[in-house]
Structure formats: C-alpha cells, structure tokens
Amino acid sequence: MAEAPNFQTEMRLLLRERMLDAARDVVCTEGWGAVNMSRIAKDVGISRPVLYKEIGTKQALADALIERELGAFLRGIADTLAAHPDPITGMTRAAEYTLRTGADNTLLKAVLSGRDSSDTTLLPALITEPEPVLGRALAALLPAMRERYELATISDADLESLIEILVRLTLSHLFQPLGPLDRTVAQIELVITRVFTALIEAAS
C-alpha cells in the first residue's frame, strides 16, 4: 500500500516553487543583478531565515533556477520526440519547439546561451559550466532517441554526433535569427535529413 503524501513535505515543495517563481519573475524582468534574498522573501511573504533554510545561498537559488528551467525544457523536447513516430519529423519538431520556446523565454534563452548579453551576472553558475545545455541535451536525448526510434543500425557515437549537430544548429538560429521561423525550421530539417540519411547508408 502506497504511503499517504506527507503534508509537511508537500507544503515545503510548494513553498520552494513559490520562491523559484518569485526569483524567476525578477530575473526575467530586471536581470539577475536585481535579485536579492530580502526581496525574494518579501515577495513570497516569508522571512529571510525561512528563505535561507529552504533554498540556501543566492548561488543555490541560481542553481535551482537553472536546473528547473533546463529540466522543463528537456522534458518538453522528449515529449516532442515521443509525439512523432518518424525520427526526422521528431527532430525537426524538437528544433521548432526550441526556437518557439526560447524566443519568448528570457531565462531559458540565458540558460541555453550560458550568459546574457545585457547582464553578464545573470545566473553566474553558468560561468563555471560552459556547456551545460549541450552536455545535458546529449545525456537526455540519446536514450530518448533510442527509446522512441530504436535506430539499431546507428551507433551511439554517430547518434550522439547527430544530436550534437541538431542542438548546435538550432541554438545558432535561436541566438542569431536571420529569417522567418518556418524557413529556419526547413533549413534545419534539410541538414538533419541529409546527415541522418548518410548515417543510415554508411551503416547498411
């Protein structure tokens, strides 16, 4: 028999989410430099000691924001792949999801880039991990691609290379858009199709 949810644990998790939501609002509207623990505590309606007890230091707050934003993003990518039975379509739609989501999400765009041009102190934890997205994406998407599409003839090394090409190409378009979204997605699809086809032919 499953244990009943612990009320105190649920309340602490809810409080933590409210803390992160409050910090996220400040980051997205004013930048990381405007975040301070007193302000976040006041916005949530708690004391500073409670905030420090639940979240830790300001650096821990940044780490938690990064982890939550990136985790939600990668889950969205995995869900997008799961919705499409064809690997080329799945990867193309994953690229489109990234471009649409990142374009309107200041915090996610900063996390994906590892910095923010208007505020170099935004989420300083990113400075110590220069490629957090690429490493996390490879670690998350390789098993997701295997589970959804199998791709038995493609080695892990080749599949990892394909995913890296997709991630780097998509992020380059996100940070330096040059035209309409539909045109960008079509370009990414063309590249991924050719690379994927070449890998399949080489393996056969």
Q: Using alpha carbons, list the distances in angstroms from residue 21 to 72, 86, 107.
A: 14, 36, 12
Kindly state the greatest CA–CA separation across the chain: 64
- Tally of domains within the chain: 2
Q: Are residues 21 and 85 part of one domain? A: no
What percentage of the chain reaches a pLDDT higher than 90? Answer: 50
pLDDT tens by residue, 69-78: 888 998 999 9
Task: Please give the Cα distance from 52 to 41 (Å, whole number).
Answer: 9
Is 174 within a domain? yes
Q: Are residues 176 and 80 part of one domain? A: yes
Q: Are residues 178 and 91 part of one domain? A: yes
Task: Please give the Cα distance from 74 to 66 (Å, whole number).
Answer: 12
Confidence of residue 185 (pLDDT cuts 50, 70, 90): very high
Burial zone of 7 (CB within 10 Å; 0-12 exposed, 13-18 middle, 19+ buried) = exposed
Which of 31-35, 50-54, 58-62, 104-108 has the highest average model confidence (pLDDT)?
50-54
Q: Positive or negative, the Cα torsion across 177, 20, 131, 81?
A: negative
Confidence of residue 27 (pLDDT cuts 50, 70, 90): confident
* pLDDT of the residue at 86: 94
* pLDDT of the residue at 127: 45
Task: Please give the Cα distance from 116 to 152 (Å, whole number).
Answer: 40
* pLDDT of the residue at 95: 95
> Greater confidence, 41 or 125?
41
* pLDDT of the residue at 104: 81
Count of all residues that appear for the chain in the document? 204
Reading the block at residue 122, the tokens are 């935004």
Q: Are residues 130 and 94 part of one domain? A: yes
Task: Please give the Cα distance from 65 to 176 (Å, whole number).
Answer: 25
The residue type of 147 is E
* pLDDT of the residue at 133: 66
Q: Can you give the residue range of the structural domain that contains 133?
A: 66-203
pLDDT tens by residue, 80-138: 999 999 999 999 999 999 999 988 888 888 777 765 444 445 555 554 454 556 777 78
Task: Please give the Cα distance from 183 to 163 (Å, whole number).
Answer: 20
Q: Are residues 115 and 94 part of one domain? A: yes
pLDDT tens by residue, 153-179: 999 999 999 999 999 899 899 888 888
Q: Are residues 129 and 82 part of one domain? A: yes
Q: Are residues 161 and 99 part of one domain? A: yes
Q: Are residues 140 and 88 part of one domain? A: yes
Is 72 within a domain? yes
Task: Please give the Cα distance from 106 to 98 (Å, whole number).
Answer: 13
Task: Please give the Cα distance from 142 to 102 (Å, whole number).
Answer: 21
